[in-house]
Amino acid sequence: MSDKFFCPRGPGGNSPFAAPFNGEADWREDGTCSYCGSLNPDLLFAQIEKGAELGPTDKSYKIYVRLVDHQVRGAGKFYFQHLSDEQQVRFVELYNAHQLKIGMPGHFYTLPFFMTLKPPSAP
């Protein structure tokens, strides 16, 4: 997991840590981004498949993940900016199929920035 990449939460984002950081990061051994600490998207999906609970927040860009049998125990954070377009589609599909275990109160307070609710059908 040591391939270099540019963290989407780096320069140009809303972070006070952006300068002089050029945005280059890598995935640490525990599966987190060396810049922002987000879980790797592949790790997120693996944890979802194992039944990890997603903790809703009031932010459209972040969730907490109660990790299952992983070297980083307890809660991890995930920043949605790390998802590719294809991974965003996959996340929406899992959401629509009720395959996401969302913690109290059982729904997102604020939907992820790439999601919208479908209006109810007319009778």
Flag whether pLDDT at 44 surpasses 80: yes
**pLDDT confidence of 29, banded at 50, 70, 90?**
confident
Strand partners, 26: 4
pLDDT tens, position by position, 71-81: 665 568 999 99
Average pLDDT, the chain: 85
Question: pTM of the prediction?
Answer: 0.82
C-alpha 87 chain-centroid distance: 10
Flag whether pLDDT at 62 surpasses 90: yes
Angle of helix 41-49 versus helix 85-96 axis, rounded to 10: 20
Length of the chain: 123
